[in-house]
Amino acid sequence: MRIKLHLIRYFYSMMTGYIADNKAFYQPMFFEFPHEPMAYSSSLENNVMLSTQLKLSMQSSHINKNVTEFWFPPGIWCDIFNDKGIDGCMNLTEGISMNMSTKAYEFYLHIREGSVVPMQDGTELAKNYKVSNTADL
């Protein structure tokens, strides 16, 4: 819920623009990387783009699967919600697949090089004002 609150204004702004232009906000990797063969064949349901700036990596179809293979296209990708700072970034000259932990509560959100994603401090909102959903905002 905290991550959703961090990104809610971004999501709403992007979705509004995408709807007006008849585009998909939540899209398969091959929409953004049509010349990458792995974008068509690498676990389409586990690797998605949220607009053109964010890559969501999640595994939601198997309950007892603790490790999942995710595909990353070429470029610089930084894990938004990590405690590693710049060490949470990958500079890839070619697309790669990597195994990452995927317990029931885990997912990964990576920002693409050159992107700006405004966030609000949902943690403070949730803690100080007991916000647990968007209606509470």
- Write down the mean pLDDT value for the chain: 80
> What does the pLDDT look like over 60-83, one tens digit per residue?
777 778 888 899 999 999 988 766
3-state DSSP: the chain helix, strand, coil percent, rounded to 5? 30, 30, 40
Specify the DSSP class assigned to residue 114: T
Contact 132, 126 (CB under 8 A): yes
pTM of the entire structure? 0.75
Residue that has been written with the tokens 């068509």 in this structure: 40
Span 105-134, pLDDT tens digits: 778 889 898 887 777 665 555 566 566 665
